[in-house]
Chain A
Amino acid sequence: MIEARGLTKRFGPRLAVDGLSFDVRPGRVTGFLGPNGSGKSTTMRLILGLDRPDAGQARIGGRRYRDLGWPLREAGALLEARAWHPGRTARGHLAALAASNGIGGRRVDEVLGLAGLTDVAGLRAGKFSLGMAQRLGIAAALLGDPPVLLLDEPVNGLDPAGIHWIRDLLRSLAAQGRTVFVSSHLISEMALMAEHVVVIGRGRLLADAPVADLAARAPSLEDAFLELTGASTEYQARRAEA
């Protein structure tokens, strides 16, 4: 369970996240949708305590992220591809993270296998393709076998087989009772993957509804999304012209 309450983040004069409140419930994949620059990544960073909110707070399983006893065993996150030193091997990267949360070496081998990286575990991760990089990021997120997962644009750079793999993986994780929160700007992918969506624009909540309900309001989920976010993207375009 992830709870956001009045999350607000300002970068200089720009309000990146504006009083955002929503819950992400366990047992289903929740999509996090919004146009580019709408504040999705910033919201994820606020939930993970990487950025400090100007107001409001986020909780994971009822606690602030920084108060978690074993963060990687309580929440796993993929924030960006290549969040590692390029000179380190895939196994070295995972082994270092595992050690910080008292996770054994056997689990490192398990997640390498799960992500399909066993054969390249000893290679320096700086040489990885974007698809392999995403898989290593997902392996890191799963390291602590966490009940909560946050993934920022996990399908970026994946080939069709990779996209299929992650869709099945996230749905099975949710079916096990985990909380799965996935951001994307690919509506068609969300329509296949998520049961519920949180839609934001200009840092504000636009919708928090089951995918089926949103899709029923318009010819498709994509049409519903464009209708919801139209105002905020138009506003951005005007700002850019001015």
Chain B
Amino acid sequence: MTVLARPAGPSRSMAGHYRFRHVARMEWIKLHSLRSTWCALVITVGGATAMAVLIGRGTRNGAGDLTNNALAGVAPGLLFTGVLGVLIMTSEYTSGMIRATLAAVPRRPLLLAAKAAVLGVVALVAGEAASFISFAAGGAALRHGIAAPSLAQPEVLRAVLLAGASFSLIGLLGLGLGAMIRHTAAAIAVLVGGVYLAAQAVGAASLGVARYMPVLIVANSLTTTKPATCSPHAAPCLHFLSPWAGLGLLSLYAAAALGAGAWLLARRDA
């Protein structure tokens, strides 16, 4: 039996240690070898672009925040990278793959870090693609003599870039939730509840807290190019976070979920 000809005594020694790059390579192969990954990313880009075109065609007032309009598909589109993040972790438990994965990589926080790095980069690339294509398509769809916004205008490039980054951050939030909760349906429920529904409920109950809700940060802090103007008659007036404060808070949410996920992953039986 030629493939097993190498003598394998107890004396056989192996130098070195598996490192982050080995684990990240495994996670990259896992991610790109599934058709569902590509489906989720294509729908993310396509959906955000379609929404931008629809809103662009319907726009009649050129004085509004046209960039924010073109990026309207970002907030709902976040669901796809968020769910992708959840599935990267929970599908390991559903299929039993987690046992093979942890037998190959017993250092569990390193495993989660590698998953986060691979997902973070993939979702960032897809998110920026969704954001820039939406921005271009939304501008091109404008009619009624309204001039399309340009990336050279103040705050516009920042809004488009941060919209793309939000896909990555919500993906990482999903990954952290997946590691904490381990069951697909429950983790997606918490993701959707936390990102979307809580914003509605909390927003209705307390306007002061609404600005800390993920979906409102994306819609009203990251992707705006003009400060919201409050008419003096509309009280109370909502004050949203600045774009960079919003980005910081979203990052904090993702980091907290990943930290808790890593802590639980390292302590629980697989």
Partner-B contacts on A (CB < 8 A): 1, 26, 45, 48-52, 61, 65-66, 68-75, 77, 79-80, 82-89, 92-93, 95-97, 99-102, 110-111, 113-114, 140, 142, 145-147, 172-173, 176-178
* B28 nearest in chain A by CB position: A99
The answer to whether B105 touches A71 (Cβ under 8 A) is yes
Query: Which of B10, B91, B101 counts the most A-chain CB atoms under 10 A from its CB?
Result: B10
* A66 nearest in chain B by CB position: B106
- Give 26 pairs: A residue, B residue, CB < 8 Å, sorted on A: A50-B99, A50-B103, A52-B267, A61-B10, A69-B14, A69-B16, A69-B18, A70-B14, A70-B18, A71-B103, A72-B104, A73-B14, A74-B14, A79-B103, A83-B95, A83-B99, A84-B96, A84-B100, A85-B95, A88-B30, A92-B29, A99-B26, A102-B16, A147-B8, A172-B1, A176-B7
* B17 nearest in chain A by CB position: A69
Q: What are the residues of chain A within 8 A of B91 when measuring CB–CB?
A: 85
Q: What are the residues of chain B within 8 A of A66 when measuring CB–CB?
A: 106-107
The answer to whether A51 touches B106 (Cβ under 8 A) is no
Q: What are the residues of chain A within 8 A of B22 when measuring CB–CB?
A: 99-102
B12 at the interface (CB under 8 A from A): yes
**Which listed residue, B9, B12, B23, touches A100 by the CB 8 Å rule?**
B23
Query: Which of B14, B17, B103 counts the most A-chain CB atoms under 10 A from its CB?
Result: B103
Q: What are the residues of chain B within 8 A of A101 when measuring CB–CB?
A: 18, 22, 104
Q: A69-B16, A83-B97, A89-B33 are in contact. Are A178 and B269 (CB under 8 A)?
A: no
Bound complex: CA A68 to CA B14 (Å): 10
The answer to whether B99 touches A100 (Cβ under 8 A) is no
B143 at the interface (CB under 8 A from A): no
B57 at the interface (CB under 8 A from A): no
* A62 nearest in chain B by CB position: B10
A122 to chain B, nearest CB (A): 11
Q: Contact string, B1-45, partner A, CB cutoff 8 A, digits 1/0?
A: 101101111101011111000110111011001111000000000
B204 at the interface (CB under 8 A from A): no
Bound complex: CA A86 to CA B101 (Å): 15
The answer to whether B10 touches A99 (Cβ under 8 A) is no
* A173 nearest in chain B by CB position: B4
The answer to whether B14 touches A97 (Cβ under 8 A) is no
The answer to whether B3 touches A110 (Cβ under 8 A) is yes
Q: A70-B16, A80-B99, A85-B91 are in contact. Are A147 and B106 (CB under 8 A)?
A: no
Q: What are the residues of chain A within 8 A of B23 when measuring CB–CB?
A: 100
Partner-A contacts on B (CB < 8 A): 1, 3-4, 6-10, 12, 14-18, 22-23, 25-27, 29-30, 33-36, 91-92, 95-97, 99-107, 267, 269-270
Bound complex: CA A111 to CA B270 (Å): 26
Q: Told that A83-B100, A92-B33, A99-B22 touch, could you supply 20 new A-B pairs with CB distance under 8 A?
A: A1-B10, A49-B106, A69-B18, A70-B14, A71-B18, A79-B103, A82-B95, A84-B96, A85-B97, A88-B30, A88-B33, A100-B18, A100-B23, A100-B101, A100-B104, A111-B3, A145-B6, A146-B8, A172-B1, A177-B7
Q: What are the residues of chain A within 8 A of B102 when measuring CB–CB?
A: 48-50
